[in-house]
Amino acid sequence: MFEKLLPYDAAHLILSAYVKYYHQYKRITKRAPIRFEHRDWHGVQADARERLTLYRDKVGATTEKVQALLGDKARDRHTWKQIKEMYLEEIMNFNTRNIAETFFNSVFRHAHKGLSADEELMFVHATGSYREFRSTIPIFQTFFLVQPVEVVIRQLFSYYAFDAPWEDQERDIRYIADALNRKLLPGGRLPRNARLEMLKSIFFRNKGAYIVGRLYLEERVYPFILPLLHEEKGIYVDALLLEYNDVSSIFSYNRSYFLVDVDIVSEMVDFLSSILPSKNLGELYNCIGFEKHGKTVLYRDFLRHMDRSLDHFVIAPGIKGMVMLVFTLPSYNMVFKVIKDHFPPPKKVTEQEVREKYELVFFHDRVGRMADSHMFENLVFPRNRFSQELIGELLLECPSKVVVTDKTVEIKHLYVEKKMIPLNLYLETATPEEAEEVINEYGKAIKQLAAVNIFPGDMLLKNFGVTRLKRVVFYDYDEIGFLTDYNFRRIPEPRDYYDELSAEPFYSVGPDDVFPEEFPRFLIGRQDIREIFYRLHKDLYDVRFWREVQERLRKGDIFDVFPYRQRLRFKKVYRSRG
């Protein structure tokens, strides 16, 4: 009798699932300050992983329910068009309408595997600016600056209550005021209307908490970030971050997502954009934990860029990989990676294993050293934007994943990542100072990956990239593994003259055996670069380094890896003051 209401019922089913998802998402996020107060670092990491799986689980379960409800109309275009229209009516005044649209898209794609983006049946384009939604009470607290600045900082801290003691809050207030006066207020002069606007929500990740805001001085806006740590003696402020590059690193595309309680997501993103103007909005949605909507925003940005550009997709510069075919659009800041159909020796991994490696990275703490990726299926490009060389390479290396017509190139499965300069190419034109900087970063990257139980496997320079901020990031995952799964060994002494001259190892080598003494032979070809690396990170050639890290990891230790420069830490700046 009420069959006409079937599309409405389906729309309401999806919307109800979204509301439940968002409630659970926020509940997990709201556990973060409690974890911080109790120094439950393993719990923080578990919550971060749980939140990542929550979306997939909800979408999968919702899709099954919608398909069962629709029955033989589960693939009917007209029915789905009505579902979309009724869903839009219901979310029109949602303060998270944009996130709700992405949830709908995910359910639709899950129910229509093999289809590319459908503008008629999906929210491919945004239906509004979302800026019509504003908090009735601002999401930030305003503090007008006066001298002495300590008075304002003390007032600021009164708004951030923790159910845990501070180590020495008055000391931290002095440090913050001193750092602010030295860097931005020489002579203590305050311009008119100088003020701080501090987000009420605190950002949590791993062992840190971050109070995030912006500082207005005359016509300029500065970031104002206070990283907090909690150790045995209590909570303390570790640094004051006022420079864009330091803050950009904290919100990097290569780091795990924050746990931060958000009400109107777009408003939070707008605020962050004011202190991180060079970051695209998709990256900001990612960093606060809405990575699926970040992917939606990335795709919309890509479509706009295609409309505004004329250049052609080409094979990415650098040494071609054995596992991935990588291409790029020179005018666009992302690269596209397709798994090849066959891998030449000595590669032994399967395509499924490569996909699993990308899954591992997605759920793992990337600690700023592994590139975040968005996986796309059935992505359609205009053929006239592809170089003929690239089309030929795709058909040769990835024929099972590519469908080429007169007008389109459809790729069934690919990864999209931030564009970086391959480390080996960067070094070809680097000055001696630049070479030393990035080689030091290269060693730090390997060590910080080890600290979070990741061994890159293939540590060649070509598998690392250099970011705009000269950070070195790993991006080749086909041989990645957990550090604790490997057996780090010393090379045995030769037993006799024949052992010493043997072209093949005279000792047994297991599949998971690693000999750090061999690293100098294959990691770096150039003598001058090899000498820099040895001077800065020779401990990586010693089996003791790797075994010690393994031992700590097996005991459950969580290493301190800071997303800002060590020299900014108050413990170093004010060391002589105690």
> What is d(CA 324, CA 415) in angstroms, rounded to the nearest whole number?
10
Reduce the secondary structure of 200-233 to three states and give it as a string. CCCEEECCEEEEEEEEEECCEEEEEEEEEEEECC
Specify the residue for token string 């604790």: 484
Strands 454-455 and 481-482: antiparallel
> What is d(CA 402, CA 378) in angstroms, rounded to the nearest whole number?
9
Q: In 3D, which of 126, 267, 249 has the Cα closest to residue 200? A: 267
DSSP 557: -
CB 324, CB 414: distance < 8 Å: no
Q: In 3D, which of 206, 203, 257 has the Cα closest to residue 225? A: 203
Q: What is the radius of gyration, based on Cα positions, of the chain?
A: 26
- 18 three-state secondary structure: helix
CB atoms within 10 A of CB 185: 17
Which residues lie closer than 8 Å to 104 by C-beta, 6 or more apart?
A: 14, 18, 84, 87, 122, 123
- How distant, in Å, are the alpha carbons of 205, 260, 361, 551 from that of 554? 22, 29, 20, 5
> What is d(CA 507, CA 274) in angstroms, rounded to the nearest whole number?
59
Strand partners, 226: 211
CB 561, CB 452: distance < 8 Å: yes
Q: Is 502 left (phi over 0), alpha (psi -120 to 50) or beta?
A: beta
Which residues lie closer than 8 Å to 335 by C-beta, 6 or more apart?
A: 316, 326, 327, 328, 416, 417, 418, 419
Give me the active site residues, please. 372
> What is d(CA 539, CA 161) in angstroms, rounded to the nearest whole number?
42
> What is d(CA 524, CA 533) in angstroms, rounded to the nearest whole number?
9
Q: Is 307 left (phi over 0), alpha (psi -120 to 50) or beta?
A: alpha
